Every structure is written in structure tokens, then in C-alpha cells.
Amino acid sequence: MTADGLYPLILASASPRRRELLEQIGLRFTVQSVDVDETPREHEAPDLYVLRMAREKALACQRLPGNTDSLVLGADTSVVLDGVIMGKPHSRDDARAMLQRLSGHQHEVMTGVALAGLTAVRERVVTTRVVFRRLAENEIDAYLDTGEPYDKAGGYGIQGLGGIFVTSLVGSYSAVVGLPLDATADLLAQVDQPVWQWWASGDE
Ligand SMILES: Cc1cn([C@H]2C[C@H](O)[C@@H](COP(=O)(O)OP(=O)(O)OP(=O)(O)O)O2)c(=O)[nH]c1=O
């Protein structure tokens, strides 16, 4: 623990969006991504799946040498349509099929977030309902050409060009982008590391 009572914090993620969101709320942290097997288990419920992924990312990172005395944050985002989990598209055809399925329908975005503390892992899942307007085929093709879909669950980014597909949203915008800020703050408060303490102790 540092003199100001804060533990070192590591974000276990390769997602630039998650890094930007954590920076947005004034936390100081390092980033160390880990590879975990992201295959859902047979009949695994989507909310339990994103929680398990978030937990596995956080714990795999905390187990790395030098990290055992750090708090580690992991997260996982999936798009869920009619109970079926959509991860990141594997190909252009896969991304096209996802966008065609989302077109004109409502889906859920589920983000699990896990904070591995020194003695326990705390976790939360945040579900957001998103409605897409109907997408034209040539619009989907043009979107695929931009390259934006490929590193994003469901094949779109609400914070990017994909923002034009979204008619409405009920829930947490930051959770759709990859990290629910309220739940993250809540988890940090639970381990006596409230976010505002970073504001007070920082020089930024
Ligand atoms: C729905 C949606 C997802 N996404 C992103 C958030 C996540 O980065 C990604 C889902 O994949 P994840 O497996 O949750 O995360 P990741 O592979 O990008 O990073 P890491 O596992 O190392 O933490 O989709 C958006 O950026 N915008 C959106 O609107």
C-alpha cells in the first residue's frame, strides 16, 4: 500500500476503451492484458459467462509475478440476442451475420466486472438494453469496410461509427463501451479504495 492508502491497481485488459474509461474517472493504474480461453461452457447463462470471464482475467493477471499485492480489475462484454451470446466476430461474414441479426431488434449488452482484491474477488454484472434501427445491406457493407466491428462484441461500437445504429438504450452507456463506471466505483469502494481518494491524492 502506498502512503496515501491506495493499493497499486492493474487493469487486466487489452481494450483501449477500458483504459480510456478508467482514465476518465481519474484512477492511476497500469495495464497488463492476459489471454484466457473465452469459450462459453455448454448451456452457460450469458450473465454467468461474462462474470466468469471477468473473474478469470482478473485472477490470471493477479497470479503473474509481481502482481500478488495489487488490486486487479478484469471485465468482459458480450452482446446477447434472444439468450445467445455474441462475442467478437471471427470474420467479415461473421460480423455481417451479427449485424443482420441485430438490425431492427433489441438486444442486451452484458458486461461483467471483477476486482481481485488481496483476499477475495468481488464482481458485478451490468445489463443494458439496446435497440437497433433497421440497417440497410449497403450500410452494413460500408461499416464492415471501416474495420470497426472486428474487435468488438456483437460487431459494433456504440462509441464509434456504430453509434448511428442505436435508436435507444436503457442501462449503462459505459458498460456497453466495455466498463460500467458506477459498478467499478462500487467495487473499489467495497475494498476501501473509493475513487475520490485518487482525486484527492493525485497531482493531475
Ligand atoms: C457492444 C460494444 C462492445 N465493445 C467492445 C468492448 C470490449 O473491448 C469488446 C468485447 O470484448 P472483450 O472480450 O470483453 O474484451 P477485449 O478482448 O476487447 O479486451 P480484454 O479481454 O483484454 O479485456 O467489445 C465496444 O467497444 N463498443 C460496443 O458498443
Would you say residue 3 has pLDDT above 70?
no
Residue 176 Cα distances to 27, 53, 78, 128, angstroms:
20, 16, 9, 7
Q: Which residue has its alpha carbon closest to ligand 1 atom 20?
A: 13
The model's confidence at residue 203, banded by pLDDT at 50, 70 and 90, is: low
Enumerate the active-site residues: 76
H/E stretch holding 86 reads strand 84-86
Beta bridge partners of 78: 110
Measured distance CA(115)–CA(27) in Å, rounded: 14
pTM for this structure? 0.96
Number of domains present in the structure of the chain = 1
DSSP secondary structure letter of residue 157: -
Measured distance CA(58)–CA(12) in Å, rounded: 6
Average pLDDT, the chain: 95
What is the average per-residue pLDDT within 69-84? Answer: 97
Measured distance CA(86)–CA(153) in Å, rounded: 6
Task: Say which CATH number the domain at 162 has.
Answer: 3.90.950.10
Percentage of the chain beyond pLDDT 90 is 94
Domain that residue 150 falls in:
9-201
Count CB neighbours of 167 within 10 A. Answer: 11
157 lines ligand 1 (CB under 6 A): yes
> What is the ipTM, given to two decimal places?
0.98
SS3 for 132?
strand
The model's confidence at residue 6, banded by pLDDT at 50, 70 and 90, is: confident
140 lines ligand 1 (CB under 6 A): no
- Indicate whether 165 belongs to any domain: yes
- Indicate whether 163 belongs to any domain: yes
What would the grid cell of residue 106 be?
A: 433489441
Residue that the C-alpha cell 491506495 belongs to: 6
- Indicate whether 3 belongs to any domain: no
Condensed to tens digits (0 to 9), the pLDDT of residues 80-93 reads 999 999 999 999 99
Is the CA virtual torsion 137, 171, 179, 203 positive or negative?
A: positive
Best residue for ligand 1 mutational test, from 13, 15, 20, 37 (most atoms within 8 Å of Cβ): 15
What's the 151 CA to ligand 1 centre distance in angstroms? Answer: 7
- Indicate whether 119 belongs to any domain: yes
Would you say residue 204 has pLDDT above 60?
no
- Report pLDDT for 181: 98
- Report pLDDT for 1: 66
- Report pLDDT for 131: 98
